[in-house]
Amino acid sequence: MENPLYHTVKIGNVIIPGNLFLAPLAGFTDKAFRSICLTHGASFTYSEMVSAEALSRDSEKTRLLMERADNEKLLGIQIFMSEEDTARRAIPEILKANPTVIDINCGCPVPKVVKNGAGAALMKKPKTIEKIVKLLTNETDIPITVKFRSGWDLNSVNFLEFADYAIRGGASLLTMHARTRSQGYSGEANWELLRELKNNFNVPVIGSGNIFTPRDAMGMLKETGVDGVLFARGAIGNPFIFNRTIELLKTGEELQEIDLKVKIITALDHLNLTAGYKGEDTACREIKKQLCSYTKGEPGSAALRNKIVHAKNMEDYRDIFKEYLA
């Protein structure tokens, strides 16, 4: 008998081994970070957001976003577009990556995305999501899922209507960030809307918004009845949140806070993985914001972050961290 809080999730014909998901985060959830999160208990991970238009134009840089990490048996590829024709042109490249799940982004609030009618802008034309999902479900047996917000703004909270069109198109799972597009990432996520979404549809529902601790995850699962939770900003620099949440959900007891030395060792593992995938120069340039996040809240972390920002190569990083590993 499965634990009522920590359990498998069925997405179409795919069984996910647990219900703690890593959100797709542009600039963060590359295959190195996804690998680290899987090592620390994530049940399922998503690629960074992938432009269907760029894929249809044979962008090598975009194609690289869909590559699996070495320990990534399952992978959700999240794509964004404004209409179904773009999805039609991109599908051959998406299928080459052999995703476990294809997720459609209808929640990104970034102006450069929404101004082209993609991301959260799709909330304003819910009939379009039915067309996009239907096209993809007709082209492949891979489950199609949809991630969206509660609405465009507080005057157009239309998540139930939007979800209904997604289900009509054949969506196998719904993920909702319980904020409107106009809220961005500020204010409180309205978890009560997640309960309403779950109560109105039979497919699995994953909840997102205001999950920064294991207790937050447990609270969302208990209060809303959603099938799983999606960790986003709460996992940056904190891949430990997955195993800590599993322990809480299974036993009701929280593990101790992670020791700084363990954080530093994990940060160095993250750096080495990134260098292995992208090369030293790119890794040392791109990893700064990630490594800084590992030390957030620690005594003396401001000075440590200042050193990280000025590091130029692997040797610099190792010199910075070695005093913490003694």
Q: What is the DSSP string of 74-114?
A: S-EEEEE-SSHHHHHHHHHHHHHT--SEEEEEE----HHHH
Least confident span in 213-222, 237-246, 292-301:
292-301
User: Is 47 within 8 Å of 85 (Cβ atoms)?
Assistant: no
Taking residues 81-104, what's their average pLDDT? 95
* pLDDT score, position 205: 98
């590359």: which residue's tokens? Answer: 30
- Length of the chain equals 326
Q: What is the mean pLDDT of the chain?
A: 94
Q: Which fold has domain 260-322?
A: 1.10.1200
Residue ranges of the chain assigned to CATH 3.20.20.70:
9-251
User: pLDDT confidence of 59, banded at 50, 70, 90?
Assistant: confident
Cα–Cα distance between 193 and 199 in angstroms, integer? 10
User: Is 146 within 8 Å of 79 (Cβ atoms)?
Assistant: no
Least confident span in 54-58, 104-108, 183-187:
183-187
Taking residues 264-274, what's their average pLDDT? 94
Cα–Cα distance between 135 and 192 in angstroms, integer? 32
Supply the angle between the helices 260-278 and 314-322 in degrees, to the nearest 10: 170
Cα–Cα distance between 96 and 257 in angstroms, integer? 41
Q: What is the share, in percent, of the chain residues with pLDDT greater than 70? A: 99
User: pLDDT confidence of 63, banded at 50, 70, 90?
Assistant: very high
* pLDDT score, position 68: 95
SS3 content of the chain, % helix, strand, coil (to 5): 45, 15, 40
């970070």: which residue's tokens? Answer: 33
* pLDDT score, position 183: 87
5-46 confidence digits (pLDDT tens): 999 999 999 999 999 999 999 999 999 999 999 999 999 999
Taking residues 101-111, what's their average pLDDT? 95
Q: How far is C-alpha 93 from the chain's CA centre?
A: 21
Catalytic annotation on 108? Answer: yes
Residue ranges of the chain assigned to CATH 1.10.1200:
260-322
Residue 154 has pLDDT above 80, yes or no: yes
* pLDDT score, position 149: 96
* Both tokens assigned to 290: 């990630």
Selected catalytic residue, list 37, 108, 284, 292:
108
Supply the angle between the helices 126-139 and 159-169 in degrees, to the nearest 10: 20
Taking residues 193-212, what's their average pLDDT? 97
User: Is 76 within 8 Å of 45 (Cβ atoms)?
Assistant: yes
- Max intra-chain CA distance, the chain: 59
**CATH tag for 9-251 (out of 3.20.20.70, 3.30.70.20, 3.40.50.300, 3.40.50.11540):** 3.20.20.70
Residue 1 has pLDDT above 70, yes or no: no
User: Is 123 within 8 Å of 162 (Cβ atoms)?
Assistant: yes
**Cα separations (Å) of 268 from 174, 237, 275?**
35, 12, 10
Strand duo 144-151 + 173-180: pairing: parallel
User: pLDDT confidence of 140, banded at 50, 70, 90?
Assistant: very high
Residue 130 has pLDDT above 80, yes or no: yes
